[in-house]
Amino acid sequence: MNQREQETLVNPHQLQHVCSQLYQKVGVAREHADTIAQMQVLMDLRGVPSHATRGVPGYVRGMMNGDTNSNPDIKLLEDNPASALLDGDRGLGHLVALHGMNLAIEKAKATSIGIVIVRNSKHFGAASSHAMRALEHDMIGFATTNGTGVNVAVFGAKTNSIGNHALAFAIPAGEEPPIVLDMACGAAAAGRIGTARMYDQKIPFGWGLDENGEETDDPSKVTAILPAAGPKGSALAIIMDVLCGPLGGGLMGINKAYNSRNAPPEKIATAHFFLAINIASLTLVDQFKDEMDEQIRTTRKAKPRRGFDRVTLPGEIEWELTQERRANGIPLHKSQVQALEELADELGVPIPWK
């Protein structure tokens, strides 16, 4: 069965409405549910299904069983002119991250730069969905997290010893699409390997190791993800862990008791790091955007190598895919659609595409 035969085309507005309703059914305020659903649908539009609405059933059921707080009391633990430390009260990471990134932006408006660390949170989805919030404020945004568990083998090892921490930069441009880098420190995100498994596809050698420590192209046999670019990915993962963990008074991922049900929150909770840089505090915004446009256009003129149709910049393909899918719909794997429909039936949420 080819990929298209495994998919159902869904209207993005209908998908966003259904996801928002599902969150509201488990106690998330409508305003927050709408925003969370919007962020997740955006990742489907950008072609990142591993960190999009595919996770909604898991997030919702986490609230239903009490593992995730649907209405967290986010507390300000430390507050300085350019930085803050928050406690997320086990809230859904998307909601807690929304609060953290917005606070970083507000501090950057006043002091040129804003840094916010959040601890005691949950998985926050795609890092770029938070970094991109800075774009509309003419700022550079950055987000990272240590919420992946320990699923990457440090360079040279064959067992898991670091997290596959995601990091994202979002840089505004003028007439051109913004530059958006969203990457895992491993050769691939765990969710991307899961997507390949769902579609019964092979993965490239170099992505993961099997239980014997050998490279495999079978996503169902991956027990450890390899670091991106060897030692470089390992180093990046360690640094992201420092920003999210010890810098906020927490732990490095490898020191967390992920497998212990009785561990206190500080031993297992996810932490995030957000940064906003106010461009206007350093240079003229229009001048900055003009230079970014020039850089983007010049880069596109580079002659492509054999096997490449053209040269693109980080986020450009996702930008183009977003425009196409807004017009024509989002292709979702049928198993994902079924999971959403089953949850909707359980919670009494109408499905408009049925």
- Asked if residue 114 is part of any domain, the answer here is yes
Rounded mean pLDDT of 154-168?
Answer: 93
Name the band, by pLDDT with cuts 50, 70 and 90, for residue 264. low
Q: Are residues 36 and 107 in the same domain?
A: no
Query: Considering the chain, what is the average pLDDT of its residues?
Result: 93
Q: Are residues 280 and 168 in the same domain?
A: yes
Number of domains in the chain: 3
Confidence at residue 267, expressed as pLDDT on a 0 to 100 scale: 62
Which amino acid would we find at residue 41?
V
Confidence at residue 80, expressed as pLDDT on a 0 to 100 scale: 98
Range of the domain at 211: 187-226
- Asked if residue 321 is part of any domain, the answer here is no
Interval 196-220: pLDDT, tens: 998 999 999 999 999 999 999 999 9
Stronger pLDDT, 254 or 257, i.e. the higher one? 254
Confidence at residue 84, expressed as pLDDT on a 0 to 100 scale: 98
Interval 117-158: pLDDT, tens: 999 999 999 999 999 999 999 999 999 999 777 899 999 999
Interval 68-121: pLDDT, tens: 999 999 999 999 999 999 999 999 999 999 999 999 999 999 999 999 999 999
CATH assignment at residue 12: 1.10.1530.10
Confidence at residue 218, expressed as pLDDT on a 0 to 100 scale: 97
Q: How far apart are CA 173 and CA 313, in angstroms?
A: 12
CATH assignment at residue 140: 3.30.1370.60
Residues 6+ apart with CB under 8 A from 23: 32, 33, 36, 37, 56, 59, 60, 63, 70
- Asked if residue 262 is part of any domain, the answer here is yes
Q: How far apart are CA 254 and CA 189, in angstroms?
A: 18
Could you tell me the pTM of the whole model? 0.94
Percent of the chain with pLDDT over 90: 86
Q: Are residues 265 and 295 in the same domain?
A: yes
Q: Are residues 144 and 278 in the same domain?
A: yes
Interval 304-324: pLDDT, tens: 999 999 999 999 999 999 999
- Asked if residue 222 is part of any domain, the answer here is yes
Confidence at residue 102, expressed as pLDDT on a 0 to 100 scale: 98
Confidence at residue 261, expressed as pLDDT on a 0 to 100 scale: 53
Q: In this model, does residue 325 exceed pLDDT 60?
A: yes
Q: Are residues 131 and 267 in the same domain?
A: yes
Confidence at residue 100, expressed as pLDDT on a 0 to 100 scale: 98
Last residue of a domain, one of 226, 256, 284: 226
- Asked if residue 26 is part of any domain, the answer here is yes
String of DSSP letters for 265-300: HHHH-EEEEEEEEEGGGTS-HHHHHHHHHHHHHHHH
- Asked if residue 35 is part of any domain, the answer here is yes
Q: Are residues 170 and 241 in the same domain?
A: yes
CATH assignment at residue 212: 3.30.60.50
- Asked if residue 319 is part of any domain, the answer here is no
Beta pairing partners, 172: none
Q: Are residues 217 and 141 in the same domain?
A: no
